Amino acid sequence: MNIRGLCIAAVIALVAISSPGLAASPARPPADVIRIQVDTATPLAKISEDFLAFGYGTSAGPQPNFFAGKNSRMIKLYANVSRHGLIRVGGNVSDHVRFVPGGVAVAKTERDVTIINETNLADLADFARATGWRVMWGLNLGTGTREEAVEEAVAVDHALGSSLQSFEIGNEVDLMRKYSKDFDAYHAAYLDYKAAIRAKLPRAVFSGPDVAGSLEFVEKFVAAESADMALATHHYYRGGARNPGSTIDRLLARDDAFDQRLQKLQDHCAEHHVDYRINEVNSLSGGGKQGVSDTFASALWCLDYLFDLASHDCQGVNLETDINQLGFISFYSPIVHDPSGACSARPEYYAMLAFAMAGHGELLKTIVDKNEINLTSYATRDEHGTIYLTVINKDLARDARIEVAIPDGFKAVGTYRLHGPSADAKTDVTFGGSAVADDGSWTPATSKPGPITAGPVSLPVPHASAAVLRIHTQ
């Protein structure tokens, strides 16, 4: 080759190295191998049958074509996740609601007054019966009167009948100006309302105190009301939507402070023989944050959080859904609907599908190799003895390969993956190889279990993904 040819070759090589379009992609680092063992002799908790559920602001009630026995699409979306769930209706709007039996229903924000009527309650009752779910209903302690609360409670009880699980009196009472620093004043008001309601409904059941964050309120309430309550209730959001620090990275990082709170809540309720529920929860308060709460990352957060709650003996969770107190459908909502009432699923809903498959029976202890990946694992055993191992790789960069020591007596393993194109993807999310159909139905793609041979089962779990292993006895 002459000098001119050598110079041209050198230029081509230099362009190939420096141009992003021509440069070879750097090789991904090898997946970290993480060994996991399921301890079948150590059950940690029992997962309740109504663990997985939804929560709504009361402004959802007046919406047309929504809570109705004819809303077949939403009924199927409910059926996919549970046959025995709990619909929580309340939120900030519940303290700005008036019940007007024959009035015109109006859905408003927390800055105005929402009107619900008998038709709204009848529609909710039809929907509850169609799904097999029960309802926890929040009454107005913030801006209404005791007499109005009694009238509303009687109407709700009449409409829902056996579908009514319990009443709550007030929402996030620890943030109300008149009660925030005075539990005794709140408790006195609660007792006053409860007594008036019981005068009309002697068998009425109550839950509470429905706090935003005051563990002190919960502890005092449980100590005082343990003999006469269904559930202790508490709320949780990972952060605020307006906080610049509310990023995908922060959402996927473990919230150790709340785990410590959960442990205290678990211990206190166990001491008083009362169950507790996180009955309002989602990623970021204030309706969620676009680009965080509506992404596949929220599904990974959600699946991990559901199992984290179960591991703290929580009796259930109500993922906040639909129109919020600010008047728009929250970015974090697992189910959204259009003006005609037609519903569809967002990424977080697919986490619920994964938990619906694996989150039954006993939660078992898992033993995991120490590693640097943001990865969690949870094992359950259902009533038939089938074990489900859920592995969630929340790491945004590092892939994992798990090696699972299969307990004796198990013969086959099937795998179902929670997958999205990327952590920040908002569409094309699937679980078990399938997306939710237009009619609201969902069926996982056929997964033929593979036989278990000698040695551990090895499985890749790429970054920003999750997998459910179904370990069969036959």
Per-residue burial over 429-447, b if 16 or more Cβ lie within 10 Å, else e, is: bbbbebebeeebebebeee
Backbone angles phi, psi at 220, to 5 degrees: -70, -40
Q: State the pLDDT confidence band at 12, using cuts at 50, 70 and 90.
A: very low
Residue type, 210: D
Q: Does 20 score more than 70 pLDDT?
A: no
What pLDDT is stored for residue 124 in this prediction? 97
Of 261, 255, 250, residue with least CA distance to 219: 261
β-bridge partners, 38: 366
Backbone angles phi, psi at 135, to 5 degrees: -130, 130
Mean per-residue pLDDT for 5-29? 40
What pLDDT is stored for residue 220 in this prediction? 98
Mean per-residue pLDDT for 204-233? 97
User: Higher confidence at residue 15 or residue 385?
Assistant: 385
What pLDDT is stored for residue 189 in this prediction? 98
Rounded-to-integer distance, Cα 456 and Cα 461, Å: 15
104: left (phi over 0), alpha (psi -120 to 50) or beta: beta
User: Higher confidence at residue 2 or residue 69?
Assistant: 69
Mean per-residue pLDDT for 165-180? 96
What pLDDT is stored for residue 1 in this prediction? 44
pLDDT tens digits along 304-337: 999 999 999 999 999 999 999 999 999 999 999 8
Please enumerate in sequence order all residues whose Cβ is within 8 A of that of 140, keeping only pairs 6 or more positions apart, or say none. 94, 95, 96, 97, 98, 148, 149, 152, 170
What pLDDT is stored for residue 411 in this prediction? 82
Neighbours of 262 (CB within 10 A): 22
User: Higher confidence at residue 5 or residue 470?
Assistant: 470
* Mean pLDDT, the chain, whole residue set: 91
pLDDT tens digits along 121-167: 999 999 999 999 999 999 999 999 999 999 999 999 999 999 999 99
32-44+362-472 and 48-358 share one fold: no
Q: State the pLDDT confidence band at 103, using cuts at 50, 70 and 90.
A: very high
Hey, what CATH class is 32-44+362-472 in? mainly beta
Q: Does 289 score more than 50 pLDDT?
A: yes
Rounded-to-integer distance, Cα 131 and Cα 314, Å: 23
Q: What is the pTM of this model?
A: 0.91
Q: State the pLDDT confidence band at 22, using cuts at 50, 70 and 90.
A: very low
Which sequence spans correspond to the domains of the chain? 32-44+362-472, 48-358
CATH number of the domain located at residue range(s) 48-358 in this protein: 3.20.20.80
Q: Does 2 score more than 90 pLDDT?
A: no
pLDDT tens digits along 403-421: 998 888 888 889 999 999 9
For the chain, give the number of residues.
474
